[in-house]
Amino acid sequence: MDRSNINFVKSSNLIISNAQIFSSSLNYQGDYPCPVCRLGKISQMPLMEAMSCEFCQEIFTVNLELQQIKMPSRQPPLVWRWNGYKWNQAQLEGMELRWGYVVAAIAFVILPTTLIGIGAYYFSPGRNVPFSGIPYIWTVLTFLSHLSIMIWIFIEVYQIPIGAYLRAINRWRDGVIR
């Protein structure tokens, strides 16, 4: 074997040939993994400058100069950038998650739970009173409800269109797609 034509890269005890590492640019002729359902393949729709997934049926508009696709079925649309191998994490068009949002989300979960927990602890009705555990149950419910609101917002903002995924699973179960 002629080693002069093959360059080797050693990274973390793994030897990979540069001949195996080919990045591909986004174009209309290729098939790419769907960034929404992660099960199907997206390809060009006939007679259109758009791509669609064969599994979840989502439609994407394509920007070849920026190597990105946009899901216009939601507002603001989600945008994925193709790096040559896979899609980068989805972002809302024109919005970036910063540390202030993370602090606000943590405060939204912790502060109400703490206030209700302090009230339940200091103003507990006593052990002999019927339903004396309700303030503590209320504290747990406050935590779970605020946490579920933050999870729901995260799902809505970041790429996880659960409705499209469930529709695709139902279509797969019904035998419409394989």
Q: What is the pLDDT of residues 71-99, one digit of tens each?
A: 888 777 888 888 888 888 767 666 666 78
At 177 the pLDDT is 62
Burial of 17 (0-12, 13-18, 19+ CB in 10 A): exposed
Confidence class for position 35, pLDDT limits 50, 70, 90? confident
Interval 168-174 mean pLDDT: 79
| Higher per-residue confidence, 108 vs 96 | 108
* Burial of residue 129, with CB atoms counted within 10 A of its CB: 0-12 exposed, 13-18 middle, 19 or more buried: exposed
User: Would you call 3 helix, strand, or coil by DSSP?
Assistant: coil
Residue 118 pLDDT class (50, 70, 90 cuts): very high
Amino acid at 155: I
How many residues in the chain?
Answer: 178
Task: Give the whole-angstrom CA distance, residue 95 versus residue 53.
Answer: 25
Cβ(155)–Cβ(164) below 8 Å: no
Q: Among 97, 46, 45, which residue's Cα sits nearest to residue 69?
A: 45
Residue 9 has a pLDDT of 44
Give the residue-averaged pLDDT of 17-32. Answer: 69
pLDDT of residue 178: 57
- Quote the tokens at residue 131: 């339903």
